[in-house]
Amino acid sequence: MTHNINSSSNGFSIDALVDDLQPVSPISLKRGFAIVGAMTLLALAAVYVTIDFRRDVMAGIPDPMFFLRLGMLLLLGTATGIAALSMGRPAIVSEKRSSGTVYWKWAVMAALLFPLSAFVTLLVDTELFMQDFHTVSSVKCLVTSVTASLLIGGAMTLWMRRGAPINLSLTGMLIGLSAGSFGAAAYSFHCPFNAVAYNGVWFPLAVAISTLIGWLVVPRLIRW
Amino acid sequence: MIADDATFRTLMRASQKGDKQSYTVLLGECEKWLRRYFAAKIAPGVLEDLVQETLISVHRKRASYDPERAFLPWLAAIGRYRWIDQLRKTYRANEAELDENLVADPQAEAVSAKISIESLLEKLPEKQAEVIRLVKIEGLSISEASAMTAQSESLVKVNIHRGIKKLNSIVEE
In tens, the pLDDT along A125-138 reads 888 888 777 777 88
ipTM for the predicted complex comes to 0.79
Q: Dihedral angle at the C-alpha atoms of A173, A174, A177, A180, nearest 10 degrees?
A: -100
Residues of B in contact with A8 (CB under 8 A): 48, 52
List residues in chain A touching B: CB distance below 8 A. Answer: 3, 5, 8, 10, 12, 14-15, 17-27, 88-95, 162-164, 166, 224
Residues of B in contact with A10 (CB under 8 A): 49, 52
Give the pLDDT score at B109: 44
Can you say how many angstroms the Cα of residue B128 is from the centroid of all Cα atoms in its chain? 19
Separation CA B146–CA B126 (nearest Å) = 14
Pick A91's closest partner by Cβ from B15, B59, B74.
B74
> Does A22 sit within 8 Å of B18, measured CB to CB?
yes
Q: Work out the minimum CA distance from B103 to partner chain A, whole angstroms.
A: 26
Separation CA A118–CA A110 (nearest Å) = 14
Can you say how many angstroms the Cα of residue A29 is from the centroid of all Cα atoms in its chain? 14
pLDDT in tens, chain B (173 residues): 677 889 999 999 999 999 999 999 999 999 999 998 888 777 777 888 899 999 999 999 999 999 999 999 999 999 989 988 877 776 666 554 544 444 444 344 444 455 466 667 778 888 888 888 787 766 677 887 888 788 888 888 888 878 877 776 665 54
Q: Across residues A147-169, what is the average pLDDT?
A: 95
> Does A89 sit within 8 Å of B69, measured CB to CB?
yes
Which among B25, B30, B31, B52 is the top mutation candidate for probing chain A, defined by the most A β-carbons within 10 Å of its own β-carbon? B52
> Does A20 sit within 8 Å of B73, measured CB to CB?
no
Identify whether the C-beta of residue B32 lies closer than 8 Å to the C-beta of residue B85.
no
Q: Model-level pTM? A: 0.77
Q: Work out the minimum CA distance from A150 to partner chain B, whole angstroms.
A: 24
Separation CA A166–CA A194 (nearest Å) = 40
Q: CA nearest A209: which of A147, A160, A159, A156?
A: A147
* Contact with chain A for residue B66, Cβ under 8 A: yes
Average model confidence (pLDDT) across chain A:
89
Q: Work out the minimum CA distance from B61 to partner chain A, whole angstroms.
A: 6
Which among A3, A19, A21, A171 is the top mutation candidate for probing chain B, defined by the most B β-carbons within 10 Å of its own β-carbon? A21
> Does A88 sit within 8 Å of B77, measured CB to CB?
no
Separation CA A188–CA A199 (nearest Å) = 10
Is the backbone of residue A11 left (phi > 0), alpha (psi -120 to 50) or beta? left
Residues of B in contact with A88 (CB under 8 A): 64
Residues of B in contact with A224 (CB under 8 A): 57, 60-61
- What is the per-residue DSSP string for B6-24? HHHHHHHHHHHTT-HHHHH
Residues of B in contact with A162 (CB under 8 A): 63-64
Give the pLDDT score at B95: 53
> Does B52 sit within 8 Å of A5, measured CB to CB?
yes
Q: CA nearest B72: which of B26, B18, B15, B40?
A: B26
* Contact with chain A for residue B48, Cβ under 8 A: yes
B121-137: b (≥16 Cβ within 10 Å) or e: beebeebbbbbbbbbbb
Residue of A99 and A146 predicted with greater confidence: A146
Separation CA B26–CA B65 (nearest Å) = 13
* Contact with chain A for residue B5, Cβ under 8 A: no
Identify whether the C-beta of residue B81 lies closer than 8 Å to the C-beta of residue A88.
no
Q: Is the pLDDT of residue A215 over 50?
A: yes
- What is the per-residue DSSP string for chain A? -----SS-TTS--HHHHHHT----PPP-HHHHHHHHHHHHHHHHHHHHHHH---HHHHTT---HHHHHHHHHHHHHHHHHHHHHHHTTS---HHHHHHTTTTTHHHHHHHHTHHHHHHHHHHHH-HHHHHHT--HHHHHHHHHHHHHHHHHHHHHHHHHHTTS--S-HHHHHHHHHHHHHHHHHHHHHTT-----HHHHTTHHHHHHHHHHHHHHHHHHHHH--
Pick B27's closest partner by Cβ from A18, A23, A27.
A18
